[in-house]
Amino acid sequence: DTVLTQSPALAVSPGERVTISCRASESVSTLMHWYQQKPGQQPKLLIYLASNLESGVPARFSGSGSGTDFTLTIDPVEADDTATYYCQQSWNDPWTFGGGTKLELK
């Protein structure tokens, strides 16, 4: 299976720029997607196909990357962005998720 590795946690101040990384154990082309999950809620799709903003998602969120290295950027970070962020690949079956990066605001 394709393993997706994310840093466990990050802490930033409101108004700053934050980058969340996701590294794949093998190429996933650009079939990488990003989700935000808040406690007690279902995951919410933010970015699809590495760099496409899902409808209704603020333009503060952006994605980049291809192959094995991907990044989700939030600029500027707001208090409401406190959540866990997951990457997910759909190039290799079975589809897999990263372990999640918990974003905390200082």
Partner 1 sequence: EVQLQESGPGLVKPSQSLSLTCSVTGYSITSSYRWNWIRKFPGNKLEWMGYINSAGSTNYNPSLKSRISITRDTSKNQFFLQVNSVTTEDTATYYCARSLITTRFAYWGQGTLVTVSS
Distance CA 31, CA 28 (A): 6
Distance CA 78, CA 64 (A): 20
Binding flag, residue 6, partner 1 (CB under 8 A): no
Q: Which is nearer to partner 1, 13 or 45 (CB)?
A: 45
- Amino acid at the residue 74: I
Go through the chain and tell me how many residues it has: 106
Binding flag, residue 90, partner 1 (CB under 8 A): yes
Binding flag, residue 48, partner 1 (CB under 8 A): yes
How many chain residues bind partner 1 (CB under 8 A)?
A: 23
> Residue 61 Cβ, how far from partner 1 at the closest point, in Å?
15
Contact 101, 10 (CB under 8 A): yes
Contact 105, 81 (CB under 8 A): yes
By the criterion CB under 8 A, which residues form the site for partner 1?
1, 31, 33, 35, 41-45, 48-49, 54, 84, 86, 88, 90, 93-97, 99-100
